[in-house]
Amino acid sequence: MKEQVIIFLNEEDEKVYVKVPPGEDTRFELQNLAGKLISEAVHAKGLHDFDLTGLPDGIYFVLVNQNDRIRSKKIVKGYHP
C-alpha cells in the first residue's frame, strides 16, 4: 500500500488541511514565499490543519516530513482569476 499525503486548501474556512498516514511522528510546516516559517507542529495524528485567517493573500508552502520523507505543496491564497 502506498503512503499518501494529501494537502488541500479550503477557501471557505481559510484553512489548509494535511492528511497523512497516522501513527508516526510527523512535522508539519507552513512557510511563506520567502521561506519564513509561519507555523509548525509535530504530532502522530493523521490530520493537521493550518489556519490562514489573517495572513495576506499570496503563495505559501506546506512541508510535511514523515520518516525522513519530505513532501511539499504550493498553496495560493486569495487569487481568483
Q: What are phi and psi of 34, to 5 degrees?
A: -80, -5
Sheet holding 47-51, edge to edge: 6-10, 15-19, 47-51
Give the model's pLDDT for residue 1: 40
The third-level CATH classification (topology) of the domain covering 6-77 is: Immunoglobulin-like (2.60.40)
Residues in the chain: 81
Chain mean position to CA 8:
8
pLDDT digits (tens), the chain, 81 positions: 456 899 999 999 999 999 999 999 999 999 999 999 999 999 999 999 999 999 999 999 999 999 889 999 999 999 766
Cell triple for residue 63? 512541508
